[in-house]
Structure 1
Amino acid sequence: MKTTLPGLLLSAAVLGAALFAFSPRPLPAFAATAIQADRLQINGLAKAGARLVAVGERGVILLSDDSGASWRQAAVATDEASALTQVFFISPQVGIAVGHDGWILRSVDGGAHWSEVQFDRKHSDPLLSVWGNADGLVFATGSFGQLFVSHDAGATWVQQKTPADDRHLNAIAGDASGTLIIAGETGTLLRSTDRGATWEKRPVPYQGSLFGVLKLADGDWLAYGMRGNVLRSTDRGETWTHVDSHLGTSYFGAAQLADGELVLVGQGGAIVTSRDDGQTYAVRKVGGVQSLAAVVDVGHGELALGGEAGVSLLPVLPTLPKAPPGAPHAVAGPPSS
């Protein structure tokens, strides 16, 4: 049978197409996947120098080098996909993140890369808070009375006993004098005055859960928690008094800004502020569905807020004056989301 020229050309074309289809060649360049920081639950925020670091669900760690305008994902060497609850930097380079399943991560390059230090999915108890100082002394607290301490900037950890029994220890903070305060459930407040070597329970006027603790610029201390309860100490945590914050919603995060303004955030997106180191408060925002868990001073007149709606920026607005007794408290806003 004769093969015609058109037939030969068609066969050659088919063979050429097949060879092209299956031959190795460079893949086309795809745009990098954008990180939508407003669609992840963010539980903790911190600053590593000028960089913002956010941690949250599925072990995600986000970084921003433009004051929160854009975000990218940090590199985590071991992806356990457990939720991260808090992050803290003891220097612009060295940071510690903690989370569920006893997960502890460490970064030595300002949050760009993270290595796993500890993980225990078998017991699965979460760590809830972390704090440390530039000397390398770092503490992590968690559920059922967990307290871990590191003396080498988070590289290794040992567990420490406290008088908290099996109470959840929700937050820890310290100062340069060696005073440390731990806040927890059922009115638990533990204090150490010897850099965490020993701990004592302190009596408080509220027996519900406390979710956070903060050392203020004037040397006083603040603890906050369920149903809008705020406690204040003027004697390094020896005694505590109740302060009216004007809201009955729970507070989960707090920060003191460079100008001294105190900001508390919490349930339903609530935000209250204080201009006198936590003695009196004004309500900036109340009412909403998605709660806030963390706040940090970005600078340039903005706050970064973290919570169920991810990370958002909020302008720092002048706080309204305190309303006279019996008058309704105004809301300054609404803030941008």
Structure 2
Amino acid sequence: MFKTLRIASIALALAVAAGAVYAFAMRPHPVFAPTEVRADRLHINALAQAGRRLVAVGEAGHVLYSDDGGQRWRDAEVAQQPGSTLTQLSFSDALHGLAVGHDGVVLRTEDGGAHWRRTAFDAEHTDPLLDVAAGADGAAIAVGSFGRFLVSRDGGEHWQTAATPPAIADGHANALVRGAGGRVLLVGEAGLLQRSADGGATWEKLALPYQGSLFGGLALADGAWLVFGMRGHVFRSEDFGASWQPVDTGLPTSYFGGVQLRDGRVVLVGQGGAIVRSDDGGRHFRIHRVGGRASLAAVLEAAPGRLLVAGEAGIAHEAL
């Protein structure tokens, strides 16, 4: 009997020892599926396309990406995430992109938006950067409030404060509109409008028949340009901003984002969930949808005839 008890005790001790060895042994971490996030519950400020991938940025430094046309979204990994709200992003190709936001933060990705790291941050000056333009040649520009104007020559790895374009030393530069051949428009508050024909190296002040704020613009496939802003003001130019014609959209609402679809149609989105569209290259618009409290800040074409819109109520699909 005592021999049996002794054998049982030894077996129990060995089992406990084996369990301890297993518990503390090095072994591979379990593989979990990437966590999906509720993209309809975040305030999203901007959308962009990186190859076939869709990327979104917004409140509290969130960066989301989707590989299935916006059906499911995942949180990107961001190193040294300061939690600063992100305002805009830009990709130079399917892999390389930049995102900017409050506290002068700049994030950089080299894998199409799945992983990001911080390359600029200014905890002492919380004024936001409001837009960024990433060029295929490594040149990049970031602009923002109170005349903030930064340039990079190595794809956003390092940034320097540049000479501010004329007339925006104290103003807010809201958006950069990139066209072909290094042509860029810069728009902002109080009718601010500048153009550059050399990728942002030099700038020229333009006249616009409107002195209110402009929030964005589009370089259209036919060579024309659109700019849009407060209270429904939209203007179209066929000579790179030398002259402008006002465009009636049918709504006295502010517009914050726009896109030209693959079939040539133009869509603008804005305050109160407004969506307007043009079938003739931005010469005339008609109302697609209006109403609601949540404003829209960005729009992309998710698939032919289907939009992806984003704003205060997150990301949603919209059929045209």
Q: Which AA in structure 2 matches 1:302? A: R
User: Which of 83, 97, 120 is the equivalent residue of 1:81?
Assistant: 83
**CA–CA separation in structure 2 for the residues paired with 1:209 and 1:116:** 30
By how many angstroms is 1:264 displaced?
Answer: 0.1
Equivalent residue for 2:301? Answer: 297
Q: Distance in 1 between matches of 2:220 and 2:241?
A: 12
Deviation at 1:239, TM superposition (A): 1.8
The partner residue of 1:211 within 205, 215, 219 is: 215
CA–CA separation in structure 2 for the residues paired with 1:171 and 1:265: 15
Residue in structure 2 matched with residue 277 of structure 1 by the alignment: 281
TM-superposed deviation, 1:148: 1.2
CA contact (8 A) 1:132 1:174 kept: no
Give 2:165's aligned residue. 162
The unaligned stretches of length 5 or more in structure 2 are 1-18
Q: Which amino acid aligns with 2:84?
A: S
Which runs of no fewer than 5 residues in structure 1 stay unpaired? 1-19, 318-337
Task: Tell me which of 113, 117, 120 is aligned to 1:118.
Answer: 120
Residue 196 of structure 1: how far off its partner (Å): 1.3
- Write the deviation string for residues 29-70 of structure 1: whole angstroms up to 9, x where unpaired: 988653000000000100000000000000000010000000
How far apart, CA to CA, are the structure 2 residues paired with 1:199 and 1:29?
Answer: 52
Tell me, what secondary structure is at the counterpart of 1:38?
A: helix
State the Cα RMSD in Å: 2.2
CA separation of 1:239/1:282 partners in 2, compared to 1, >3 Å: closer, same or farther? same
Give distance in 1, aligned partners of 2:237 and 2:158: 33
Whole-angstrom distance in 2 between the partners of 1:300 and 1:188: 34
Give the 4+ runs in structure 1 shifted more than 3 A.
23-34
**How do 1:1-337 residues align onto structure 2 when only pairs under 5 Å count?**
33-160=35-162, 161-163=164-166, 164-315=168-319, 317=320
TM-score by length of 1: 0.84
SS in 1 for 2:103: helix
Q: Is the 8 A contact 2:35 2:74 kept in 1?
A: no
Aligned counterpart, 1:324: none
Q: Percent identity?
A: 54
CA distance in 1, matches of 2:100, 2:220: 24
Distance in 2 between residues matched to 1:137 and 1:31, nearest whole Å: 36
Residues 102-137 of structure 1, C-alpha deviations (whole Å, 9 max, x = no match): 000000111111011000021011000111322222
Give the alignment's TM-score, normalised by structure 2: 0.88
Match in the other structure for 2:10: none
Contact 2:36 2:75 in 1 (8 A): no
Q: What count of residue pairs does the alignment treat as equivalent?
A: 299
- CA displacement at 1:178 relative to structure 2: 2.2
Deviation at 1:170, TM superposition (A): 0.4
Tell me if structure 1 keeps the 8 A contact 2:109–2:115.
yes
**Contact 1:167/1:184, CA 8 A, preserved across alignment:** yes
Structure 1 counterpart SS, 2:181: coil
